[in-house]
Chains A and B, each alone.
Chain A
Amino acid sequence: MTSKLYSVRVNKQNPPNTLESVQPCSGLYSIRKDIKRNIWLAVAAAIYLINLMLAKRHPEWSVAIRATFALAPLIPGLLYIRSCTRFVSGLDELQRRIQLEAWLFAVMGTALIGIAVSTLNASGVHMGELEHGLGMGRAFIVTFVLWLVGSAIANCRYK
C-alpha cells in the first residue's frame, strides 16, 4: 500500500517542452519539435507568397476571388496559433511562468511605447517616420525585441 501511495512514474516518454528545442544551435535543438510547432507558419507564409504572385499576374480576377486568396493564410495562421498554444502548454511550469512574464513585459512595453509616440505626435514633436504612430510592422519588431529582453530578465531571475 505504502509503495503504491509513494510510487512516482519516471516521465521519460513525455518530457516537458523547452524553448531550446526550437532554437537551432542551442545544443538541445529538436527538428521534430520545431516542425511540429512551426509547420503552419511556413504554410501560411507560402500561401501568402503564392497569393502575392497570383495577384500580380491576374489583376483581372474578381474581388471575391482576390479576397479569398488574401484571407487564405488566416487558416494556417489559426492552426499556427493552436500549435503555439500546445507548445506552451507542454512547457514545464517554470518556463510557462517565464514566458508569461516575458510576454507581459513585451506587450505592456509595446503599448507604452505606442502611447508615448502618439502623445509626442499630439504635442507637436516632430517624429519623422513615426508621425502616424508606431505602425503595425514596427509594433511587431518592438514586441519581439521586448520579448527577447523580457525572456532574458526572467531567465536571469530564476537561474
Chain B
Amino acid sequence: MKNLLRELRAGEAWSQGKLAEVLGVSRQTVNAIETEKYDPSLPLAFKIARLFKRPIEEIFEAEA
C-alpha cells in the first residue's frame, strides 16, 4: 500500500523514533510502513490519520 507517511513526518521535522514514540509503536514499524513493506492495522492507520489531521484515504492509497 502506497502512503505519504515519510513526507508527512518530514513536514513535521520528526525522526522515525519520535513518530514511533507518539504512535506507541517501534521505530521498525514506522520504517516498514514508510518503505511500504508493511501495511498498518486499521487502528494504527486511524492513529496516523488523526495525528496528521488528514483522512486515511489521503495518507494511504491501495495499489490497484
Residue ranges of A at the interface with B (Cβ–Cβ < 8 Å): 2, 5-8, 10-12, 14-16, 18, 92-95, 97, 155, 157-159
Contact = CB atoms under 8 A, between A and B. Distances in A.
Nearest to B48: A8
Nearest to A95: B26
B28 A158 contact: yes
B37 interface: yes
Interface stretch (B4-12, B38-46, B56-64): B38-46
Contacts, number: 53
A79 to B, nearest CB: 27
Contacts of A7: 50
B13 to A, nearest CB: 17
B28 A159 contact: yes
B32 A16 contact: no
Chain A binding surface, main DSSP class: loop
Contact of B37 (A12, A16, A92, A157): A157
Interface residues of B, number: 19
B21 A18 contact: no
Nearest to B43: A93
A2 B51 CA distance: 12
A2 B54 CA distance: 11
Interface string B26-38: 1011011000011
A127 B26 CA distance: 45
A97 B25 CA distance: 13
Given A7-B50, A157-B37, A94 B29 contact: yes
Given A11-B21, A158-B28, A93 B53 contact: no
6 contacts: A6-B51, A16-B24, A93-B25, A93-B29, A93-B40, A94-B28
A15 B24 contact: yes
